[in-house]
Amino acid sequence: MMAMRQALLIHYHEIALKAGNRGFFVGRLKENLAAALEGLPVDRIVHPDGRIAVWLKDDAPVEPVIERIQRVFGVANLAVAREAGRELAEIADVAWGMLGERAFGSFAVRVKRADKNYPMNSLEVERKLGGMLMERAREKFGPQVKVNLDAPERTCLVEITSGVVLVAVDKLQGPGGMPSGTAGRLMCLLSGGFDSVVAAWYMMKRGAKVHFTHFHATPERAGESSAPVARELARRLTPWQFGSQLWLVPFEEIQRHIVAKAPSEFRIILYRRMMLRIAERLALRKRCLGLVTGDSLAQVASQTLHNLRTVGEVAHLPLYRPLIGFDKEEIIAMARRLGTCETSSQKFEDCCPLFMPKHPVIFSELDSVAQAESGLDVEALVQLGLDGATLERFHFKAGEVTVETVVKAGESDSPES
């Protein structure tokens, strides 16, 4: 028998609704698929009639291809597909070749006919093909095999395009969302905990390219510093967007100033305000269009509506908090799915625990915070953070994440790179 050509058949949903800009979004999706699949035996990526087919070289294993495609935003679902001839009997042969590999009790055939010149309509193909497959299934697996259109155990998809006929079984979920790089850049304040990394992922899912700023105690102490945790999280997220930048900002000295000059109950709010200001300056340098944090309403004392307001007040860029309405359990479930949970549960000190107040203010007001901050030279502290910042760049290429360069802040770093 001739080697069977295999493809991954990919559908996108939301992009299809973008009437005028569809070409831009689909073009980026195809580029992203090509980048994600680099190094795997892919023959070519084609785009017949509103779906994408990734054709594999002969005998290429599909699992690694599936794994990579499941991290490409914009993919609504995917399925392993084979090419069939245009005659019903040929379609049935290919379909049975895929379906008949393991036993099942119920199935459905779903046909999409993009080629309106095909001599039968979708419903006719579904009925006839269903009958042919039923006969073979009952013969092999027993008389109990049924057609079940609502909740079939197995599904056979037939796509009749003007070029090829594709037959696929058992659709898999893609990540959904919009293709990476279609929405502009954001800067996420990445803490090393569970939340901010999940927050970043949600913004990435909608097409934003997200860079990271992490504030750590100085110096990086072996075994207890948060910087390696932030680095590992940035590394984990990089395959979703192909490239990331992580700014590491030493924060202990800034905290010491706040501890020395401001009332203790306001410390956490003042730390957060300084973090936002510094991250915003780095964001503007990178032409980011907004900031992202992992705040969730009322999760901790600094996340009351009062404190979110007094902290957020210092930002000029829009501040996005995609987890604001999430419960901790929902966030942790997502962290598990993303594979960041274990890293985020490591013990580390991002800020010196000695600097944490015993009784942080829970319902802060703008004027009392301004008063508490009045003894600080805010601009000098921002500059102190910027001067100490270092930049690390992460790249995803041929299935591997590498850290390409480490440069000091202030050195040339174009927003694009």
* Contact footprint for ligand ATP (CB under 6 A): 189-191, 193-196, 214-215, 275, 293-295, 299-300, 302-303, 350
Q: Which is nearer to ligand ATP, 69 or 188 (CB)?
A: 188
Nearest residue to ligand ATP, by Cβ distance, number only? 193
With a CB cutoff of 8 Å and minimum separation 6, the contacts of 143 are: none
Closest distance to ligand ATP from the beta carbon of 350 (Å): 4
Closest distance to Mg ion from the beta carbon of 300 (Å): 8
Point out which residues pair with 10 in neighbouring strands. Answer: 52, 78
Q: Which is nearer to ligand ATP, 54 or 227 (CB)?
A: 227
What is the token pair recorded at 403? 């850290």
Pick from Mg ion, ligand ATP, none: which does 215 bind, CB < 5 to 8 A by kind? Answer: ligand ATP
Q: Which is nearer to Mg ion, 193 or 388 (CB)?
A: 193
Closest distance to Mg ion from the beta carbon of 354 (Å): 17
Rg (CA), the chain: 26
- Using CA atoms, how far apart are residues 167 and 321, in angstroms rounded to an integer? 42
DSSP string computed for 360-377: --SS--HHHHHHHHTTS-
With a CB cutoff of 8 Å and minimum separation 6, the contacts of 227 are: 214, 216, 220, 248
Q: Is 199 in the site for Mg ion (CB under 5 A)?
A: no
| Chain centroid to CA 413 | 25
Q: What is residue 102's three-state secondary structure?
A: coil
Q: Is the CB of residue 179 less than 8 Å from the CB of residue 276?
A: no
Q: Is the CB of residue 238 less than 8 Å from the CB of residue 244?
A: yes
Q: Is 193 in the site for Mg ion (CB under 5 A)?
A: yes
Q: Which is nearer to ligand ATP, 295 or 373 (CB)?
A: 295
Q: Which is nearer to Mg ion, 182 or 226 (CB)?
A: 226
Closest distance to ligand ATP from the beta carbon of 352 (Å): 11
Q: What SS3 string covers 381-402?
A: HHHHHHHHCEEEEEEEECCEEE
Q: Which is nearer to ligand ATP, 9 or 246 (CB)?
A: 246
Closest distance to ligand ATP from the beta carbon of 400 (Å): 26
What is the token pair recorded at 73? 């935003």
Closest distance to ligand ATP from the beta carbon of 238 (Å): 18
Q: How many residues touch Mg ion (CB under 5 A)?
A: 2
Q: Is 191 in the site for Mg ion (CB under 5 A)?
A: yes
* Interface ranges with Mg ion (CB under 5 A): 191, 193
